[in-house]
Amino acid sequence: MTPHRKAQRLLKKYLEGKCTPPEVALLHSWYESLPEVPAAVPDEGGLEAKLSAAIWTGIRQTETPIRRMPVRWLAAACIIGVLAGAGAFWWWSARAIEISNDTATARVLTLPDGTKVWLNAHSTLRWRPGFATDRAVTLDGEGYFKVAPDAAHPFRVLSRDIIAKVLGTEFNMESYAGEDQERVALVSGSVQVSSVDGRFAPTILRPGQIASLATEKQAIEVQPGDATAYASWVSGGFTLQSVPLELALKRLCHKYGYTLKAGFLRGRQKPITITFKNEGFEEILASILYINHLTYSIQDSVVSVR
């Protein structure tokens, strides 16, 4: 399929309100790469306002007016023309890299700079072109990083709320969707931890320290701990450090492809810490539930706890 046809299909989805969040994000990037940048558009105007502004900028520069054509279709027509000529958006999206681990075991990656990353089950890592000079990745889920030293280009890991900035070090970072707490556990070297929104002053971690940021907290909390225990999953086991029971069961079920049905657990927020090395799903599940005086049943990949 040609870039022109691909552009037509994606824009048609947008105009019909059927774009997925990633597709809308790509359209935003697409807009930002336009050769003509219009006057400032308020952020609340949304993507349609931005595209429209870009189109009207182009119209004002033409001698022949275009009439009675809906603004949204003007945007589509102009952008399709840009893409048909240069294929800029599809070139950009093809170069952007996203690696996901859809298995129940750790996946090992080597980034272009030599940094090694272990991705936990159902986790995703992304980075953009220009990685050699801007060593930044985005993490969804959990990863263990062994960063290649490069004093001229600090390495950054961005999650939902946290930025971890390093030169050369080893650390574990977890940022799971649906959980209100993110953590960085430093094994060696040093890490500067800050919040994405800039609310808190950067914090420097020493080996054996764990930084955490919860939604309701007013600061990044730093505590001593066994940082290597946080990363013991790298060798194939299953580990949890101070995770509430409901979230612990959700992580376990998600890792092995099950759905949890246990709404009554929402009141049980007492954190648990466990480490399993070679045990299977049901053995781990039974052990967690036994120490909490609970039982379970499984039907059609749904785990019901009672």
**What range does the domain containing 163 cover?**
97-227
Is residue 232 in a domain? no
Q: Are residues 7 and 104 in the same domain?
A: no
Using N-to-C axis directions, what is the helix angle for 281-291 and 245-255, rounded to 10°?
Answer: 170
Q: Which of 173, 197, 227 is the last residue of a domain?
A: 227
Q: Is the pLDDT of residue 138 over 70?
A: yes
pLDDT digits (tens, 9 = 90+) for 113-127: 999 999 999 999 999
Model confidence pLDDT, tens digit, residues 220-276: 899 998 898 888 889 888 888 888 888 888 889 988 889 888 777 765 667 888 888
Examine the domain organization and report whether 66 and 142 are in the same domain: no
Q: How many domains does the chain have?
A: 3
Q: Evaluate whether 230 touches 219 at the Cβ level (below 8 Å).
A: no
CATH number of the CATH domain containing 252:
3.55.50.30
Q: What is the pLDDT of residue 10?
A: 65
Q: What is the DSSP string of 6-74?
A: HHHHHHHHHHTT---HHHHHHHHHHHHT-SS--S---GGGHHHHHHHHHHHHHHHT-SS---S--HHHH
- Looking at 53, 68, 95, the residue that finishes a domain is 95
**CATH number of 180's domain:** 2.60.120.1440
**How far apart, in whole angstroms, are the C-alpha atoms of residue 31 and residue 42?**
14
- My answer on whether 83 and 102 are in the same domain is no
Residue 295 burial class via C-beta count within 10 angstroms: exposed 0-12, middle 13-18, buried 19 and up: exposed
Residue with token string 């701990």: 225
Taking only the tens place, the pLDDT of each residue in 50-81 is: 554 444 444 344 434 444 445 445 455 555 55
Could you read off the pLDDT of 170-229 as tens digits, one per residue? 999 999 988 888 999 999 999 999 988 888 888 999 999 999 988 777 788 999 988 988
% of the chain beyond a pLDDT of 90: 31
Q: Mean pLDDT score of the chain, rounded to an integer? A: 77
Cβ proximity of 210 and 226 under 8 Å: no
Question: Do the domain assignments include residue 244?
Answer: yes
Residues 31 and 50 placed together within one structural domain of the fold? yes
Same domain for 140 and 170, yes or no, is yes
Identify the three-state secondary structure at position 230: helix
Residue 60 corresponds to which amino acid?
A: R
pTM of the model: 0.66
